[in-house]
Amino acid sequence: MDVTIDKIGEYEGQSVRIKGWLYNKRSSGKIFFLQIRDGSGIIQAVGVKSQLSPECFEKMQKVVQESSVIVSGRVKKDERSPGGYELSVENFDIIHLSEPYPISPKEHGVDFLMEHRHLWLRSSRQHAIMKIRNTVIRACEDFLRQEGFLRMDTPILTPAACEGTTTLFETDYFDKKAYLSQSGQLYNEANCMAFGKVYSFGPTFRAEKSKTRRHLMEFWMLEPEIAFATIDDLMELEENMIVYMVSRLLELNKADLKSIGRDISKLEAIKAPFPRLCYNDAIKLLRSKGNELPWGEDFGADEESILSLNFDKPVFVHRYPAKCKAFYMKPDSEDPNLSLSVDMLAPEGYGEITGGGQRIEDYEELLKRIEEHKLPKDAYEWYLDLRRYGSVPHSGFGIGIERTITWVCGIEHLRETIPYPRMLTRLYP
């Protein structure tokens, strides 16, 4: 019977067959210990010379790391085995004898591993991170569905539009130019006027020459947008989504988190409510920590780090100065120099993972902003339409999936959180 390793405990005492790859091999003369992985887990298969045909035993001597194999054997509980269970080999076949495998169980450098990303993904640490990525995405989508949101995907090829073109990747679109999307936000606004609560989820592209542990040229963003929602509604939604997502992780991926060395207690502390700090108070906090950022400046890596290290939960920073946020952010009625924008900073120094706010719903006000920012009005006619036909207050945010995964995994660099990271100097593999 063919089984997968994650379900092996259900077959104790039975003979089963596993199709997979050789993860590692140890031998002791007339006994072989084969670590077999099949994508669902790793199990130790034990082959004893006296219990096997000579052909079978010969294959075990010959097999090398990452060869594809089919192993048949009896499932046994054994504490000496790394997974708690092991397979007493009855038959062993090599599907493909691997060439010498470049990634050994020993340590490797970052550059070498990135160059072999397609093979690196076979390692157990990468398995854990990819499974966590899966839960993060699925939990956020599940949460939004439960809240009545409709997923509506937005285009990746777009006309110039959003902001300036300096940070956009340009491509030919027959006899025109097209740009890779850097946000689904404007389309989400149209969609939420059609369906009330919507979100988009997909890759976004930024042609910024950023070379840090927190930037990718291509990253995945989940962007909810809600009609009739205020900035306060938005913060509550974000908070609930993060709490739900973390609870799902603790339920489904505790072993994965532990295997990459994550301090679980840090995640267990993620409970609502999250602190809410207005920009002015954030500046005061920074001053008290010796940071002298002038009022009106957006936070850099330093400031975000100081703020997020100050709390053991994510923290909202809201009402940033209008001039450091996008043109469509609604000004605060109590102080028009401030915008109804809000970022969520992840704790432990990880910094910004979401950004969003309440949008301008008034036609004249939006038009004024478009002109102030010297944006081409023609390109925004459809966007202005949303303020001509039944405009309502509305809010939305975007959450950067890779940054979020970096935080929940507690890892150094976001390059491990996506299967094939696109970075400033790396487009291969």
Q: Could you say which residues in the range 115-174 bind RNA, by CB under 7 A?
A: 162-163, 167
Please identify which residue in the block is written with the tokens 């299967």.
419
Which of 133-136's residues contact partners 24+ apart within 8 Å by CB, and which partners?
133/401, 133/405, 133/417, 133/418, 135/245, 135/248, 135/249, 135/252, 135/253, 136/245, 136/249, 136/401, 136/404, 136/405, 136/408
The nearest distance, CB 72 to RNA, in angstroms, is 17
Residue nearer to RNA on the CB measure, 83 or 275: 83
Site residue total, RNA (CB under 7 A)? 61
Classified as helix, coil or strand, 301 is helix
Q: Which stretch binds RNA (CB under 7 A): 111-119, 122-130, 224-232, 376-384?
A: 111-119
Q: Residue 353, Cβ neighbours under 10 Å: how many?
A: 25
Judged by beta carbon, residue 108 or residue 131, the one nearer RNA is 108
Estimate to the nearest angstrom the gap between the alpha carbon of 248 and the chain centroid.
15
Helices (H), 66-149: 110-115, 117-120, 124-146
What dihedral angle (degrees, nearest 10) is formed by the CA atoms of 232, 234, 237, 240? Answer: -60
The span of 104-112, 172-180, 246-254, 402-410 binding RNA (CB under 7 A) equals 104-112
Question: x-or-dash pattern for RNA, window 15-54, by CB under 7 A?
Answer: ---------x-xxxxxx-x----------x-x-xxx----
Q: Which of residues 354-373 bind RNA (CB under 7 A)?
A: 355
Binding of RNA by 208 (CB under 7 A): yes
The two structure tokens encoding residue 218: 């291509």
Smallest distance, RNA to C-beta of residue 114, A:
5
| Residue 343 binding RNA, by CB under 7 A | yes
Token pair of 115 as six digits: 């160059």
Which stretch, 75-83, 189-197, 226-234, 403-411, contacts RNA (CB under 7 A)? Answer: 75-83
Assess 269 for contact with RNA (CB under 7 A).
no
Choose, by CB under 7 A, the member of 14, 146, 171, 210 that binds RNA: 210
Site residues for RNA, 236-265, by CB under 7 A, read: none
Residue 151 vs residues 3, 185, 192, 201, 277: alpha-carbon distances, Å: 35, 13, 10, 8, 30
Q: How far apart are CA 283 and CA 291, in angstroms?
A: 9
Which position among 171, 212, 288, 337 is part of the footprint of RNA (CB under 7 A)? Answer: 212
Two tokens, residue 242: 């993060």
Residue 48: half-sphere exposure toward Cβ, Cα within 13 Å: 7
5, 60, 75, 114: residue in contact with RNA (rule CB under 7 A): 114
Q: In sequence order, which ranges of 260-339 are alpha helices (DSSP H)? A: 264-268, 279-288, 301-309
Among 96, 209, 289, 368, binds RNA (CB under 7 A): 209
Least distance to RNA, CB of residue 250, Å: 26
Query: Which parts of this chain interact with RNA (CB under 7 A)?
Result: 24, 26-31, 33, 44, 46, 48-50, 64-65, 78, 80-82, 86, 100-102, 104-112, 114, 162-163, 167, 182-183, 185-186, 206, 208-213, 215, 300-302, 325-326, 343, 355, 398, 412-413, 424-426
